[in-house]
Amino acid sequence: MSFPWAKNYEPQQPLMKWLDEKLPLPRLVYNAVGAGYPVPRNLNYFWNFGVLAGAALAIQIITGIVLAMHYAANAGVAFNSVEHIMRDVNAGWFIRYAHMNGASMFFIVVYLHIFRGLYYGSYKAPREMVWLLGVVIFLLMMATAFMGYVLPWGQMSFWGAQVITGFFSAIPMVGEPIRQWLLGGFAPDNAALNRFFSLHYLLPFVIAGVIILHIWALHIPGSSNPTGIEVKDEQDTVPFHPYYTAKDGFGLGVFLFVFAALTFFTPNLLGHADNYIAANPLSTPAHIVPEWYFWPFYAILRAFTFNFLWIDAKLWGVIAMFAAIALLFFLPWLDSSPVKSSTYRPLNRIFFWILVVDVLILGYCGKSPAEQPYVILSQLGSIYYFAHFLIILPIISRIERPLPMPNSITEAVLAKHADDKSAATA
Amino acid sequence: MVRPLGFLVGLGFIAALVLAILTTPLKNEPNAAHEIHKHPRHLALTSDGLFPHWDKAQLQRGMQVYKEVCSACHSLNLVAFRNIADFGYSEGQVKSFAKSYDTIPSINPDTGEPATRTGLPSDHFPSPYPNEVAARAANNNALPPDLSLITKAREGGKDYVYSLLTGYQNPPKDLPKELQPGTGLHYNPYFANLNLAMAKPLNDGQVTFADGSKNDVEHMARDVTAFLVWTAEPNLVKRVWTGWAVLLFIAMFTTLTYLSYRNIWADKKH
């Protein structure tokens, strides 16, 4: 632990002493999420979402393992085996709806986690590695979610697989052979379904592994905080346990409440009706739409409608869609402002909120059919998206004049309380 | 290096997008069918909302409509005879209902020849056609979809099914020629293409209910839609009420965690 005042683990119980000597697992827990991890005292509720994302992954893995006991990954019976789970397996409807909506809840908390990082500059030195590993997790999540959506072998599963694997055919010369190699055929069929199932079962454990690295990298500098000022001494911090275990426990309760309301009351709200029709390669749905968490990227993909230079529009779309995520890898170096938190960055704050609105608009366009006004909206939205990260952010991080900042976390906390008090007496 | 390169990449994407905007027409191609197509009418059922229950008598009537009308062309593959115990049939009634089907595909135990037998509660509703080719041959090359999931598998759900069943009408006089029903097609403004292969399935008085309920098109459509909501998700009512119990538990859990959070942080300014 890099903080000099981080406590050393000193086991009291004989059993723990014995265990700690042989395998310092208690020590690891103590320093990772116990009283031996000092955390800034001023974290707000937006710092709950990392733990919630971990909880969402755990729920996905547990429900997923149970589903895999009843599901059959064969193009002939996959659709009916999901309905068998819904109808004949004890509480199967609950497990399946929880897994289906669990994916959405996972993305909701991860998007909030990412935007928290964007607003408070969590990607900046010394936490670049935390951010880079986070982007890797995000990419793995997208791959896992996509392959999971194919497994029920409904119409959207099949045609979604058709569209997404079609991205690879945009690669010049070798695209079509690559696509056929990935699918194990000319179109999604049993071979593709089987390998997607295998990978869908594998990747969550890879995600869990990268999460361990993500948390490890976080524990070197310690958590960031809403002021963006680094911890200076012990009074800036509280021990993770019990302070943040208690706060995360409350956050987990709220998360589970929303999750349960969605799962039990409107389980199909975020799904698509066409996926209750069994896959049919001979009948294309009127609108092929991915799951909601891909909508902004789907809008970027479809925004490119012009063969510019020697690259055709389809390839532009595919490149842009991947670039939209890949540019996040460069964010720590695109934004050169030494100030982390947007609380003290008046310009960045404005553009951050424009970005939020922009991504919401892109999401709405990704959901909508490819007709006007959605086409031009997604084109304008994509322009802003790329301009924001690649042009606006590097410029404002140079010209912006940050607001005056407190000297330490404790000073910021005490100033806030003094304000509250004077407001209360006035 | 990252920033100048990023700047150029950004300009590249923006140039491609600006050209895309300049070359994309701002007007959509007119789509007459889209304008005539109607949004489904709402159908209120007792299984709606946050305090649902099954109207068992209605489900029984709906099943009768399915059996006497819809099942001539549409299968119900995912539903077993035993499932109908959900709406109040006794074990004996389920058995005799299953027995009333005598076309369950089977194998003659003595000769091994294909044969048929009477139904058991564990059997699923049999399909009216032996295979897809037979179904298309009998229906002017259209394939009647399986109805098990129909209220979940269509945009608009039960409202759509109910509107479609009650929406058959003569095409309006000013309907453009290309939208008028062709041979073997029937006009219905609730259907996306306006014309579908299924003829008007329900007519007033077609089914006689034992409980003397109204048997006009409107009421039969409501009953059979209610039945199809059940076939799509027999666990629907149980799901919602389980949800209330789960939410109550989580609310108590969350209250306790909130109180302990406040308690632990009481002496810490943050």
Residue A223 designated active-site: yes
Optimal mutation site among A80, A231, A245, A264, interface B, most CBs of chain B within 10 A: A264
Size of chain A in residues? 426
Query: Does a structural domain hold residue A34?
Result: no
A380 band by pLDDT with thresholds 50, 70 and 90: very high
Residues of B in contact with A306 (CB under 8 A): 16, 19-20, 23-24
**A308 or A109, higher pLDDT:** A109
Using CB atoms, which residue from A257, A273, A308 is nearest to B247?
Answer: A257
Q: Answer with the residue of higher pLDDT: A425 or A371.
A: A371
CA distance B205 to chain A (A): 32
Range of the domain at A53: 41-230+238-288
Final residue in a domain of this structure, among A253, A288, A323: A288
Distance between A69 CA and the closest CA of chain B, angstroms: 20
Chain B interface includes A268 (CB < 8 A) = yes
Residue A341 placed within a domain = yes
Residues 25-84 of A with CB under 8 A from B: 41-43, 80, 83
Q: Which two tokens stand for residue B193?
A: 């293409």
pLDDT tens, residue by residue, A215-227: 999 999 999 999 9
- Closest to B39 in 3D by CA, of B195, B153, B171, B189: B189
pLDDT given for residue B55 in this prediction:
95
* Residues A65-93: b if buried by 16+ CB within 10 A, e if exposed: ebbeeebebebeebbbbbbbbbbebeebb
Q: Which residues does residue B114 pair with via DSSP β-bridges, in sequence order? A: B107
Select from A412, A90, A150, A197 the least CA-distant residue to A291: A150
Catalytic annotation present for A247: yes
B6/A394 touch (CB, cutoff 8 Å), yes or no? yes
Which residue, B87, B190, B84, B77, is CA-closest to B135?
A: B77
Q: Strand pairing of A237-239 and A38-40?
A: antiparallel
Q: Which of A122, A223, A368, A378 is catalytic?
A: A223
- Separation in Å, CA of A22 to nearest CA in chain B: 33
CA–CA distance, A263 with A91 (Å, rounded to integer): 13
Query: Is A303 part of the contact surface with chain B (CB cutoff 8 Å)?
Result: yes
CA B177 from centroid of its chain's CA atoms: 31
A275: nearest CA partner in chain B: B153
User: Do A81 and A219 fall within a single domain?
Assistant: yes
- Residues A199-207 have a mean pLDDT of 97
Do A282 and A309 lie in one domain? The reply is: no
Q: Which one of B47, B150, B261 makes the best mutation probe of the A interface by having the most chain A beta carbons within 10 Å?
A: B261
The full DSSP string for A76-122 is TTHHHHHHHHHHTSTTHHHHHHHHHHHHHHHHHHHHHHHHHHHHHTT
Whether residue A18 is contained in a domain is answered as no
Beta-bridged to residue A237, according to DSSP, are A40
User: Among candidates A231, A225, A219, which has minimal Cα distance to A341?
Assistant: A225
Give the closest residue to A403 by CA, choosing from A338, A352, A340, A345: A345
Pairing of strands B195-196, B186-187: antiparallel
Same domain, A398 and A257: no
State the complex-level ipTM. Answer: 0.93
Cα A57 from Cα A230, distance rounded (Å): 30
Q: Judge whether A184 lies within some domain.
A: yes
CA distance B126 to A221: 66
Give residue B270's pLDDT: 74
State how many domains chain A has: 2
Among B23, B152, B265, beta carbon nearest to A268: B152
Yes or no, beta carbons of A246 and B265 under 8 Å apart: yes
How far apart are the C-alpha atoms of A151 and A145, rounded to whole Å?
Answer: 10
CB contact under 8 A, A242 and B24: no
**Average pLDDT for B184-209:** 91
Query: Are both A105 and A204 inside the same structural domain?
Result: yes
pLDDT in tens, A9-56: 889 899 999 999 999 999 999 988 888 899 999 999 999 999 999 999
Q: How confident is the model at residue B103 (pLDDT cuts 50, 70, 90)?
A: confident
Q: Give just the sign of the alpha carbon dihedral A289, A290, A294, A298.
A: negative
Domain-located, residue A27: no
Question: How much is the average pLDDT of A85-109?
Answer: 97
Three-class secondary structure of residue A260 per DSSP: helix
Does the beta-carbon distance from A273 to B148 stay under 8 Å?
Answer: no
Instruction: Provide the β-strand partners of residue B106.
Output: B115
By C-alpha distance, the chain B residue nearest A418 is B269
Average per-residue pLDDT for chain A: 92
Distance from the Cα of B103 to chain A's closest Cα (Å) equals 22
Q: A310 and A279, same structural domain? A: no
| Domain shared by A171 and A274, yes or no | yes
Which CATH number does the domain housing residue A186 bear? 1.20.810.10
Classify residue A30: in a domain, yes or no: no
C-alpha to C-alpha distance for A53 and A101, rounded to whole angstroms: 14
User: Nearest C-alpha of chain B: how many angstroms from A23?
Assistant: 31
Instruction: For residue A39, give the H/E element and its range.
Output: strand A38-40
Check whether B23 has a pLDDT greater than 90.
no
C-alpha dihedral, A328 to A333 to A334 to A336, nearest 10° = 140
Q: CA–CA separation, A117 vs A122, rounded Å?
A: 5
Q: Which is more confident, A78 or B29? A: A78
A83 is catalytic: no
Whether A40 and A103 have beta carbons less than 8 Å apart is answered as: no
Residue A419 among the catalytic residues:
no
What's the pLDDT score for residue A1?
46
Concerning whether A99 is annotated as a catalytic residue, the answer is: no
Q: Is the same domain home to A253 and A188? A: yes
Structure tokens at B66: 């399915």
Share of chain A above pLDDT 90, in %: 78
Model confidence over A103-131: pLDDT tens digits?
999 999 999 999 999 999 999 989 999 99
C-alpha A400/C-alpha A346 separation (Å) is 8
A161 and A58, same structural domain?
Answer: yes
pLDDT of amino acid A3: 64
Exposed/middle/buried for residue B247 (C-beta within 10 Å: 0-12, 13-18, 19+): middle
Both A278 and A341 in one domain: the answer is no
B152/A252 touch (CB, cutoff 8 Å), yes or no: no
Which residues from A are below 8 Å from B264, CB to CB?
A: 242-243, 246
pLDDT surpasses 80 at A322: yes
Contact A40, A236 (CB under 8 A): yes
Q: Do B153 and A274 touch (CB under 8 A)?
A: yes
Residue A246 lies in a domain: yes
**Given B28, B149, B254, which is nearest A254 (Cβ)?**
B254
pTM comes to 0.94
Rounded mean pLDDT, B27-36: 80
CA A30 to CA A21: how far, in whole Å?
15
Examine the pLDDT at A189 and tell me if it is beyond 80: yes
Among partner residues A41, A387, A394, which is closest to B270 by beta-carbon distance?
A41
Residue A74 has pLDDT above 50, yes or no: yes
Question: Are the beta carbons of B250 and A257 separated by less than 8 Å?
Answer: yes
Statement to judge: residues A370 and A279 lie in one domain: no
DSSP per-residue string spanning chain B: -HHHHHHHHHHHHHHHHHHHHHHS-SSPPP-HHHHHPPPPPP---TT-SSS----HHHHHHHHHHHHHTGGGT---TT-BGGGGGGGT--HHHHHHHHHT---EEEE-TTT--EEEE---TTSBPPPSSSSHHHHHHHTTT--PPP-TTTTTSSTTHHHHHHHHHH---PPPTT--GGGS--TT-EE-TTSTTSEESS-----TT-S--TT----SHHHHHHHHHHHHHHHH-TTHHHHHHHHHHHHHHHHHHHHHHHHHHHHHHTT---
Integer Cα distance of A202 and A143 in angstroms: 11
Shared domain check, A319 and A261: no
Q: Is the pLDDT of residue A426 over 70?
A: no
Question: Predicted confidence band at A423 (pLDDT cuts at 50, 70, 90)?
Answer: low
**CB-CB contact of B149 with B161 (8 Å):** no
Asked if B64 contacts B213 with a C-beta cutoff of 8 angstroms, the reply is no
Residue of B nearest to A305 (CA): B20
Residue in A83, A219, A230, A312 annotated catalytic: A219
**Inter-chain Cβ pairs, chain A and chain B, closer than 8 A:** 170
Q: Is the pLDDT of residue A2 over 70?
A: no
Among residues A20, A236, A291, A358, the one annotated as catalytic is: A291
Does residue A327 fall inside a structural domain? yes
Q: Most B CBs within 10 Å: which of A272, A319, A333, A383, as the mutation test of the B interface?
A: A383
Q: Please, which contacts does B31-39 make with residues 24 or more away whose CB atoms are closer than 8 Å?
A: B32/B176, B32/B178, B32/B179, B33/B179, B33/B192, B33/B193, B33/B194, B36/B172, B36/B175, B36/B179, B36/B189, B36/B194, B37/B189, B37/B190, B37/B191, B37/B192, B37/B194, B38/B163, B38/B167, B38/B189, B38/B190, B39/B156
For residue A12 the two structure tokens come to: 């009291």
- Give B-chain residues touching A276 at CB under 8 angstroms: 149, 152-153, 232
Residue A412's pLDDT is what? 87
Contact B7 A390 (CB under 8 A): yes
CA atoms within 13 A on the CB side of A207: 26
- My answer on whether A391 and A296 are in the same domain is yes
Q: Per DSSP, what are the bridge partners of residue A278?
A: A154
